[in-house]
Amino acid sequence: MTKWRPLHSGRRLGALRRLSGGYVRNVMMIAAGLAAVPASAQVAPDSVAPASPRDVARGEVLGEPLGDIVVTAQHREQSAQRVPIAITALSGARLEAEGAANLDRIGAAVPNLYLARNFGTSSGALVFLRGVGEGDSIFTNDPPVGIYVDDVILPRSTGSLLDLIDVERIEVLRGPQGTLYGRNTSGGAIKLVMKRPTLDAVSGAMDVTLGSYHRLDARGAINVPLASDVAVRVSGLSRNQRGWGRNLINGARVNGQDLLGGRVSLLWEPDAALTILATGDLTRDRSGPRFPQRFQPDPAAPGRITNRFVAPNGDIDNFLSADTDPLNSTDSGGLSLRADYQLGGGMKLSSITGYRALRSRIGFDQTANPPGVGSNVILLQDQRQHSVSQEVQLTGSALGERAEWVAGAYYFHEHNDQLTAVSLATPAGSDARFRNGDFFNVPSRGAGTSGNWSPYEPRLDTDSYSAFGSMTVALDPRAHVTAGLRYTDERKRYAVRFLTAPDTVLVLPDGRAAQRRIAQRWTDVSPRIAVDYRLGSEGGDSALLYASVAKGFRSGSFDGRARNISFALDRQGAIAPETVWTYEAGVKSDWFNRRLRVNAGYFINDYTDIAFSASRVTAGPPEIFRQNVGDARIQGLEVEWAANPLPGLEIGGWIATLADRFTRLASSPGCGAFVADERQLDLRFTPSFRYQLRAALTRPIGDAQWRVGGDVSGASDYNIALCNEPQHRVTNAETVNVQAGIDWRDWGVMIAATNLTDRRYNSGSVGTIGYPIAPREVTVQLRRRF
């Protein structure tokens, strides 16, 4: 029987003690920053005189009531506090005030969400939500946490770590969302809702940011009514930075940024019943790939590695890498068309059409060694992707408006292909280059034609069809029952070929061409049932109690990393689909005339046929393999809170727990060297405890308004890799961010620091290398609205 690891186990309790010390220290740091307001910015004495009973009655010495964020999590507009789903909604105003310029910043704002830059990429998203996620960005693995922009899915990890410009809000829905959302949302969904064009007036905003490591960003957005029923909104950005690392082999700066992006939206409202929104976006990313750093060997255990990074010449940001010609060229973009038509009788018909395309050429240093020292391995990938999606929704009410329902159909088609090469060249000299632009330059090949071979080219075509429906019925004004169902039919066609030259397939000794095709079809029915009951009064103190059961489904996959000719041609099969059954109960509550908000929930995930991409350390590149490792149970508590106790003072945060255990192992994942019983392995990115605390103080000063704020977030120890090797265990994850700014009329200035304490923990690792998070950065932003 599998042994349950309780949250209070000795191994994790020590981590919580270490964490609590840092938590208190950094909370005190933020509190001190909020208290240390310059004398010139203090409020006039008459404004802080003792309050009269009449003032107290009017609430003038109390903060403003907390506002509602209207969300569309159930395909209709509702207050987030009225939705019986674990949802965190972040307004565009909050993102701007906290200086959150990229999607990776929201990982610290949402309970049990790990969202970071994927290993070595400049724009790939690594997402785990409640322990459900995907660590490998290759296209044969669908992300189980869907990222949507205006209800159009971004199907690939590459290119989905978006810059946050012109965002209305972000909704993070935790738990399976398959009943109402596209495909592969077994872990949850992240919805970006962009600002729409408006018909009222010309308006806009722009900002320029200067910062550490020669950072220079420029962003802007403008809204222009073209007629009484037509408006256009245009936004764009430029992000540039010299880079916060240096490759000592050739002295070049690395980890730099070079990105251009733009978005155009056209709104047409020809009559009161019809709204049409057309959008196009394009991003050009020439940022350098993230350079990895090697881990230090363990002197007490020869052959083992610690989780401490080496620091060449005493600096963790110095790299000794044979990759002196780093490659990263990613272009992504898409088109969408949404039409909403009011049919009458309370019914609305919506059509959402999306097209996405991606071209990405990137090289990853797999060994972080200087030329000629040990092995020098560069993984090269040239990916081409395009997808088309079409969704039709019909919403309405019934039973005298006691029932609200949505029904629809969804179609998705995607093509991917990727030329992949593993370069094992060992160039000589200080100016040696791998010439990463040439994927056929000194590739890695076995002695014969039955072992590993490179270059090779996997391809995947996917067609997905689904129908869905959901209905919420009011049993009385306070009690509701929701039931939904989704049917999915997904078909994938995988092909791989091994090449000797561009478009030239290797011929084996028996005369066969070294290529193969595999096709597989999966179907699924995913239900969701929820009940909720509301206590209290509308607009005052109230609570929503809810409970739900939902199933999530992620379709099967193929091992696109497999480059062993014998395995790929003779033994490779499909990886089975994953399913997640989630049982959840929670409460959403407002107190003290909505000046305190506390939302809490407890969930249990029964996670079946978990598909893992794992790696083994070898003499050459890490050997990556994929398999259905088994089943697990994950459960946790999530508590979010926010309060406005005094005028201008906002405080908030969250705590979250996770406890996980394998309930079944389908086969040994090969981790016996690191644990006595492989059933005791921790799942990836499942810390026992995580938290965030944030605070901000905003006060007027004449015609201006100043604001100081910050947040601290952290986690107990957690593992990045399946086998829980020592080098992949993160023990010091904690981050502090602070901001201070002033707004005067249409102008604003903000000074901000990210990773204030400069804590450099591991954001991702494979084999003997890892990727430290970015160092402390300080920025100054000047902005203007009109």
Q: What is the DSSP string of 506-573?
A: -B-TTS-BSEEEEEEEEEEEEEEEEEEEEEE-TTSSEEEEEEEEEEEEE--B--TT--BHHIIIII--
Contact between 257 and 122 under an 8 Å Cβ cutoff? The reply is: yes
Q: How confident is the model at residue 454 (pLDDT cuts 50, 70, 90)?
A: confident
Task: Single out the residue of 93, 101, 90 nearest to residue 218, CA to CA.
Answer: 101
**Distance in angstroms (rounded) separating the CA atoms of residues 543 and 533:** 8
The two structure tokens encoding residue 782: 């000047």
Q: How confident is the model at residue 437 (pLDDT cuts 50, 70, 90)?
A: low
More confident residue, 211 or 51: 211
Q: Which residues pair with 597 in a beta bridge?
A: 590, 642
**Given phi > 0 = left and psi -120 to 50 = alpha, else beta, which region is 57?**
alpha
End-to-end CA, the chain: 65
pLDDT of residue 377: 82
Residues in the chain: 786
Q: How many Cβ atoms are within 10 Å of 245's Cβ, its own excluded?
A: 24
pLDDT of residue 15: 45
How confident is the model over 116-150, as pLDDT tens digits?
999 888 899 999 999 999 988 899 999 999 999 99
**Distance in angstroms (rounded) separating the CA atoms of residues 133 and 684:** 9
The two structure tokens encoding residue 372: 């000629």
**Distance in angstroms (rounded) separating the CA atoms of residues 105 and 690:** 15
Task: Single out the residue of 334, 351, 335 nearest to residue 343, CA to CA.
Answer: 351
pLDDT of residue 434: 52
Percent of the chain with pLDDT over 90: 72
In the three-class reduction of DSSP (H, G, I as helix; E, B as strand; rest coil), residue 75 is classed as coil
Contact between 248 and 312 under an 8 Å Cβ cutoff? The reply is: yes
Question: Which range (157-166, 326-335, 432-441, 748-757) has the least confidence?
Answer: 432-441
How confident is the model over 529-574, as pLDDT tens digits?
999 999 998 777 899 999 999 999 999 999 999 888 988 999 899 9
Contact between 377 and 424 under an 8 Å Cβ cutoff? The reply is: yes
Name 44's Cβ contacts closer than 8 Å, sequence gap at least 6. none
Task: Single out the residue of 190, 165, 336, 178 nearest to residue 265, CA to CA.
Answer: 336
Q: Can you tell me the mean pLDDT for 232-242?
A: 97
Contact between 497 and 450 under an 8 Å Cβ cutoff? The reply is: no
Name 46's Cβ contacts closer than 8 Å, sequence gap at least 6. none
The two structure tokens encoding residue 227: 């007629």
Q: Which helix (H) or strand (E) element contains residue 456? A: strand 456-474
More confident residue, 339 or 52: 339
Is residue 18 predicted with pLDDT exceeding 50? no
Residue ranges per structural domain of the chain:
10-785
**Distance in angstroms (rounded) separating the CA atoms of residues 202 and 196:** 13
Task: Single out the residue of 647, 636, 543 nearest to residue 597, CA to CA.
Answer: 543
Q: Can you tell me the mean pLDDT for 590-604?
A: 96
How much helix, strand and coil, in percent to the nearest 5, is found in the chain? 10, 55, 35
Is residue 51 predicted with pLDDT exceeding 50? no
**Distance in angstroms (rounded) separating the CA atoms of residues 702 and 662:** 60
Q: Which residues pair with 601 in a beta bridge?
A: 586, 638
Q: How confident is the model at residue 444 (pLDDT cuts 50, 70, 90)?
A: low
Q: Return the C-alpha torsion angle 129, 135, 136, 139, nearest 10.
A: -10
Is residue 26 predicted with pLDDT exceeding 70? no
Is residue 234 predicted with pLDDT exceeding 50? yes
Name 504's Cβ contacts closer than 8 Å, sequence gap at least 6. none
pLDDT of residue 733: 95
Q: How confident is the model at residue 217 (pLDDT cuts 50, 70, 90)?
A: very high
Strand residue runs (E) in 97-150: 113-117, 125-129, 132-134, 145-149
More confident residue, 120 or 335: 335
Contact between 594 and 642 under an 8 Å Cβ cutoff? The reply is: no
**Distance in angstroms (rounded) separating the CA atoms of residues 483 and 550:** 10
Q: How many Cβ atoms are within 10 Å of 449's Cβ, its own excluded?
A: 18
Q: How confident is the model at residue 268 (pLDDT cuts 50, 70, 90)?
A: very high
Q: Can you tell me the mean pLDDT for 686-693?
A: 97
pLDDT of residue 439: 78
Q: Which helix (H) or strand (E) element contains residue 588? A: strand 578-591
Alpha helices in 50-199 (DSSP H): 53-58, 92-97
Residue 504 class from Cβ within 10 Å (0-12 exposed, 13-18 middle, 19+ buried)? exposed
Task: Single out the residue of 619, 194, 568 nearest to residue 367, CA to CA.
Answer: 619
Percent of the chain with pLDDT over 70: 88
How confident is the model over 162-191, as pLDDT tens digits?
999 999 999 999 999 878 886 768 999 999
Q: Which helix (H) or strand (E) element contains residue 14? A: helix 10-35
Name 782's Cβ contacts closer than 8 Å, sequence gap at least 6. 207, 208, 209, 747, 748, 749
Q: Can you tell me the mean pLDDT for 447-464?
A: 88
How confident is the model over 270-305, as pLDDT tens digits?
999 999 999 999 999 999 999 999 999 999 888 889
**Distance in angstroms (rounded) separating the CA atoms of residues 118 and 111:** 20
CATH topology of domain 10-785: Maltoporin; Chain A (2.40.170)
How confident is the model over 566-579, as pLDDT tens digits?
889 998 999 999 99
Indicate whether this model's pTM tops 0.75: yes
Kindly report the average pLDDT of the chain as a whole number: 88
Is residue 53 predicted with pLDDT exceeding 60? no
pLDDT of residue 50: 39
Is residue 594 predicted with pLDDT exceeding 50? yes
Contact between 724 and 675 under an 8 Å Cβ cutoff? The reply is: yes
